[in-house]
């Protein structure tokens, strides 16, 4: 294949051919990852965790070259092959984006050149841009196995790496007086970023299915006092889809008499943790409750693991605090963990408001035919208005009228008292799977959350957000404990962590916990992930009644 397409294709083949080398390289360095609560797989699992990446000796971790994609928990063995596949997908996405930008802007002409003092052809610019983009993703550690699969950090890093690359392109073009076409870059940047993120999303869904089936899980050895080890083992067992499989525990001397911790074997004492980890071929040693262990114990464990390719993770009691709010700063050899106070205003909320309004306007225009059809069906289903208006509590405790397609008969509110004793929801929210007040059309609307679509107008009006805590009723707010009022510090959302984590099947405490976590740890990429998960949740109709 000749011409620009052939040259780009051959360049891609060379890049993909070097992928295993690029993906398996790992520098000795310390990486701090702040992790939030285990309550929600979309965010990073576990308590706040500092992960120490110990340098490898030559020849260490040779098993990384094995393809363990079809095997059970095997840590780095499955990761190496997975990273190569992700890199190939990234390379394909970049190739498609750059090639489309080249063809659209220059009609595939091999004679197009950059204007200015330095005038390379756009074909050369395209090939260099492809190589630089892929190299940036590798050097920027966007495939770090501790990032992929959980939370928005993977997508944030991809965005940051891509943004810095194109900023560097602008600086280089300015220094060498090259006038690279703005239209060319305006196509390549957003299209390439979108395709990379979609590819990563597809791999993440695939990885979650594997984790849910008990495959490709990282083997973990838990080290710590019995009580805290039991709690962590229980949390990891409850969150089997988080990708961690505990193989056993190591306890302090005197606590290891009983040979089991929640059904898992006690493999040794704390002082034997490193040798146990190597013998069991684990991928990570997690020291739980490290605040109750001596620094000498943890440091010695790190030294003994050095060169083995086994990660050392330290958990700290910072539940429900996400990474962006945590900063680890060494101070005279003493690591200090700073926790930023949550912020509920500022530039990022301006971005959220703009994103909400523009996205909602686009969605409303797209689904307007569906809205008309649903309105007709509701009108024909039973006497009463098409739109149900209900007072809800929004930002800072202010009230507004939330809009929904009417899914119940007109006298639904009057009949509520007769059904209170049949509540199948939680202590605060009334829910009933076979509610006799729901019309036949309403049941179908509720199954796929179509009755919520009119809330798009609440977002356009400024009362709600696309993503946020569930908008409560005034009678529910009257029952709030003092700390629950914090969920009113941001706008309520059409969807949120509550929506994608079980909806009506959740307990009240879990609902509050999810909403408070979102309120205090909001990120833009977190919103994007929730929106994507909402599509899957709505289609499966889980927890909807």
Domains of the chain, by residue range, sit at 3-25+76-212, 218-339, 347-540
pLDDT per residue as tens digits for the range 347-396: 888 899 999 999 999 999 999 999 999 999 999 988 889 999 999 999 99
Alpha-carbon span 388 to 528, nearest angstrom? 28
In terms of DSSP bridges, do strands 334-339 and 264-269 run parallel, antiparallel, or are they unpaired? unpaired
Answer whether residue 41 shows pLDDT above 60.
no
pTM of the model: 0.67
Tokens representing residue 299 in the block: 């440091």
Average pLDDT over residues 315-342: 70
User: What is the band of 43 on the pLDDT scale with cuts at 50, 70, 90?
Assistant: very low
**pLDDT: is 277 or 119 the higher one?**
277
In tens, the pLDDT along 399-428 reads: 999 999 998 887 666 666 666 655 555 555
- The vertex-162 CA angle with 159 and 163, nearest 5°, equals 80
How would residue 187 be classed by pLDDT, with cut points 50, 70 and 90?
A: very high
User: From CA 468, how far away is CA 446, in angstroms rounded?
Assistant: 19
The arithmetic mean of pLDDT across residues 505-511, rounded, is: 77
* Residues 516, 522, 526, 532, Cα dihedral to 10°: 60
Q: 53-81: per-residue pLDDT in tens? A: 433 333 333 333 333 343 334 444 677 88
Instruction: Give 247's contacts (C-beta < 8 A, 6+ positions apart).
Output: 73, 219, 220, 221, 264, 267, 280, 282
Question: Strand 218-223 vs strand 284-287: parallel, antiparallel, or unpaired?
Answer: parallel
User: Cα dihedral angle (53, 55, 61, 65), rounded to 10 degrees?
Assistant: 80
pLDDT (0 to 100) of residue 482 = 86
10-19, 189-198, 402-411: the lowest-pLDDT one:
10-19
Q: Where are the alpha helices (DSSP H) in 115-253?
A: 122-139, 153-175, 182-212, 226-238
Selected residue with higher pLDDT from 264 and 161 = 161
Overall average pLDDT of the 179-202 stretch: 92
Tens of pLDDT along 131-176? 999 999 999 999 887 788 877 888 889 999 999 999 999 999 888 8
pLDDT in tens, 279-310: 988 888 888 875 556 777 777 888 888 888 88
Query: Packing angle between helix 182-212 and helix 153-175, nearest 10 degrees?
Result: 160
Q: How would you classify residue 322: left for phi > 0, otherwise alpha for psi between -120 and 50, otherwise beta? A: beta
More confidently predicted of 382 and 436: 382
Contact in structure between 387 and 406 (CB atoms under 8 Å)? yes
pLDDT for position 257: 67
pLDDT of the residue at 17: 38
What is the DSSP code (8-state) at residue 45? P
Whole-number pLDDT of residue 14: 36
pLDDT above 50 for 49: no
pLDDT tens digit sequence for 104-133: 887 766 677 878 777 788 888 899 999 999
Matching residue, tokens 């063809």 = 103
Q: How far apart are CA 461 and CA 456, in angstroms?
A: 9
Select from 373, 377, 405 the least CA-distant residue to 389.
405
**pLDDT tens-digit map of 525-535:** 888 888 988 88
Residue 364: predicted pLDDT? 95
Q: At 42, is the pLDDT very low, low, confident or very high (cuts 50, 70, 90)?
A: very low
Buried b or exposed e, range 341-355, using 16+ CB within 10 angstroms: ebeeeeeeeeebeeb
pLDDT at res. 429: 59
Predicted confidence at residue 100, as pLDDT, reads 93
Burial class, 331, CB count within 10 angstroms (exposed 0-12 / middle 13-18 / buried 19+): exposed
Give me the CATH topology for the region 218-339: Rossmann fold (3.40.50)
Residue 193 predicted with pLDDT over 90: yes
**Which whole number is the average pLDDT over 78-92?**
90
Which is more confidently placed, 505 or 429? 505
| 3-state SS class at 311 | strand
Distance, in Å, from the CA atom of 290 to the CA atom of 270, rounded to the nearest integer, reads: 12
Long-range contacts of 389-394 (CB under 8 A, 24+ apart): 390/473, 391/473, 391/474, 392/471, 392/472, 392/473, 392/474, 392/492, 393/471, 393/472, 393/473, 393/474, 393/476, 393/477, 393/488, 393/492, 394/463, 394/464, 394/471, 394/488, 394/491, 394/492
Tell me the average pLDDT of the chain. 77
* pLDDT for 264 beyond 90: no
């Amino acid at each position: 294949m000749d011409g620009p397409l052939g040259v780009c294709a051959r360049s891609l083949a060379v890049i993909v051919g070097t992928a295993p080398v690029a993906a398996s390289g790992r520098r000795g360095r310390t990486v701090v990852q702040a992790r939030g609560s285990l309550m929600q797989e979309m965010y990073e699992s576990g308590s706040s965790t500092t992960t120490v990446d110990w340098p490898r000796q030559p020849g260490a971790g040779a098993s990384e070259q094995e393809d363990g994609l079809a095997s059970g928990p095997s840590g780095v063995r499955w990761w190496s092959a997975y990273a190569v596949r992700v890199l190939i997908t990234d390379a394909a996405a970049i190739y498609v984006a750059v090639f489309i930008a080249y063809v659209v802007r220059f009609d595939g002409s091999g004679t197009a050149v950059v204007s200015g003092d330095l005038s390379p052809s756009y074909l050369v610019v395209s090939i260099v841009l492809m190589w630089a983009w892929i190299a940036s993703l590798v050097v920027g550690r966007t495939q770090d196995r501790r990032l992929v699969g959980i939370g928005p950090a993977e997508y944030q890093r991809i965005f940051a790496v891509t943004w810095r690359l194109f900023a560097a392109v602008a600086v280089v073009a300015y220094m060498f007086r090259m006038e690279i076409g703005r239209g060319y870059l305006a196509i390549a940047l957003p299209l390439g970023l979108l395709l990379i993120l979609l590819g990563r999303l597809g791999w993440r869904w695939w990885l979650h299915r594997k984790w849910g089936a008990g495959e490709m899980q990282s083997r973990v050895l838990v080290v710590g006092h019995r009580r805290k080890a039991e709690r962590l083992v229980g949390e990891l067992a409850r969150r089997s889809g988080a990708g961690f499989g505990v193989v056993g525990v190591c306890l302090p001397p005197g606590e290891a008499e009983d040979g089991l911790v929640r059904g898992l074997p006690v493999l040794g004492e704390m002082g034997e943790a490193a040798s146990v980890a190597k013998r069991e071929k684990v991928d990570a040693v997690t020291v739980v409750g490290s605040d109750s262990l001596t620094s000498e114990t943890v440091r010695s464990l790190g030294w003994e693991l050095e060169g083995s390719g086994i990660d050392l993770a330290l958990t700290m009691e910072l539940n429900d605090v996400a990474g962006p709010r945590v900063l680890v700063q060494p101070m005279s050899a003493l690591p200090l963990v700073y926790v930023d106070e949550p912020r509920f205003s500022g530039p990022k909320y301006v971005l959220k408001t703009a994103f909400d309004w523009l996205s909602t306007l686009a969605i409303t225009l797209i689904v307007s035919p569906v809205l008309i059809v649903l309105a007709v069906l509701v009108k024909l289903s039973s006497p009463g208005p098409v739109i149900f208006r209900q007072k809800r509590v929004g930002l800072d405790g202010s009230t507004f009228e939330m809009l929904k397609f009417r899914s119940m008969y007109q006298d639904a509110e009057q009949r509520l008292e007769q059904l209170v004793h049949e509540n199948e929801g939680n202590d605060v929210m009334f829910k009933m799977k076979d509610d006799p007040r729901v019309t036949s059309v309403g049941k179908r609307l509720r199954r796929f959350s179509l009755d919520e679509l009119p809330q798009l107008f609440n977002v356009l009006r400024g009362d709600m957000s696309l993503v946020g805590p569930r908008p409560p009723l005034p009678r529910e707010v009257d029952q709030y404990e003092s700390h629950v009022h914090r969920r009113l510090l941001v706008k309520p959302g059409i969807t949120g962590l509550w929506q994608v984590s079980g909806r009506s099947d959740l307990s009240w405490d879990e609902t509050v916990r999810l909403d408070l976590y979102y309120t205090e740890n909001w990120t833009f990429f977190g919103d994007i992930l929730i929106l994507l998960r909402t599509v899957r949740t709505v289609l499966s109709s889980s927890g909807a009644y």
